[in-house]
Amino acid sequence: MKTYSTAEVAELVGISWDTIHRWMREKKIKTPPAQSVGRIQVRLWTEDDLDRVMKYKAEHYRKKPRRKKKK
């Protein structure tokens, strides 16, 4: 089973690193548990996790904010 880092998931989905971390912080997506690799905490995402993030993006994400037209 292939695993991905958080940065790789963001790149594959087409969002920024900041966006995926905001979604994780706001509990909009389910995040895999953090694992220790030496002294570093990492999250290893599976294919199912990646699919879940892609689905959330398709349903909720808009790329650019919409501006109101001037009168």
Give pLDDT tens digits along the chain (71 positions): 899 999 999 999 999 999 999 999 999 999 999 999 899 999 999 999 999 999 999 988 776 666 667 76
In DSSP terms, 43 is beta-bridged to: 34
Report the alpha-carbon distance of residue 67 to residue 13 in Å, rounded.
Answer: 25
pLDDT for the residue 61? 76
Contact present, 23 and 37 (Cβ < 8 Å): no
DSSP, collapsed to helix, strand or coil, labels residue 31 as coil
What count of other Cβ atoms lies within 10 Å of the Cβ of residue 53? 25
**Domains of the chain: which residue ranges?**
6-60
